[in-house]
Structure 1
Amino acid sequence: MTRPADIYLRFLQLAEALRGLPSLPSLDPLEEKILELVARAGQSKERLSVRDMMARSELGSPATLHARLKSMRDKGWIMLTDTEDTRRKQIELTQAALKHFDKLSECLVKAAKSR
């Protein structure tokens, strides 16, 4: 009999295989955390601006965060869109990032079925 942890470990294995695919450049751990925050905000229909991200001290200094957001934009993971205040930019996932989450979801379903 397999343990419930085996499902999660199988998911990690499948997700790791996705990282080797040429769909999007890889992210460092802080960028992955930022991506997850952006995805969760989008899922719950919350607005998330660059200023909102700056308020999150666990993400590091404003300079670090700006560098990571620029890197993620250059890599094709996020985009910045205008708001009613042109000085504020909304952070959103790109279509490629949404497809990445779709693939991760498929990995999770596959891992659960392999039990």
Structure 2
Amino acid sequence: MDLFQIKILNAILFAEEKKQQICVSDLLAMSDIASPATVHAALKKLTSKNLLMFETIPDNRSKFIKLTQEGQERFTTLSNSLKKI
């Protein structure tokens, strides 16, 4: 996993922790993550790794991004590992 993918996962996790929804355009607006093309490529890779999924809401053209169960487990494992240090 590269730095861009990690930054994207972190942004999604932080949004979910704040009970906020994050969409693709939100990530694209975060210029500190990467260029729009790099963000799209990273999202595609993270989706293929089953770490995140897209959710569309009827009557809304935005695609919201959520961590999958596997993505949440990755952060839980990481968090538990850090507690042991």
Alignment root-mean-square deviation, CA: 1.3
Higher relative CO (Cα under 8 Å, sequence separation at least 6) belongs to 1
Aligned to 1:44: 18
How many residue pairs are counted as aligned between the two chains? 85
Measure, in 2, the Cα distance between the counterparts of 1:39 and 1:49.
12
Does structure 1 conserve the Cα–Cα contact (< 8 Å) formed by 2:15 and 2:21?
yes
User: How far does residue 84 in structure 1 lie from its aligned partner after superposition?
Assistant: 4.1
Normalized per residue, the structure richer in helix is 1
- TM-score for the superposition, normalised by structure 2: 0.90
3-state secondary structure, aligned to 1:79: strand
User: How far does residue 85 in structure 1 lie from its aligned partner after superposition?
Assistant: 4.1
Give structure 1 regions of 4+ aligned residues with deviation exceeding 4 angstroms.
none
Does structure 1 conserve the Cα–Cα contact (< 8 Å) formed by 2:24 and 2:64?
yes
For structure 1, the 5+ residue unaligned runs are 1-26
Does structure 1 conserve the Cα–Cα contact (< 8 Å) formed by 2:4 and 2:34?
no
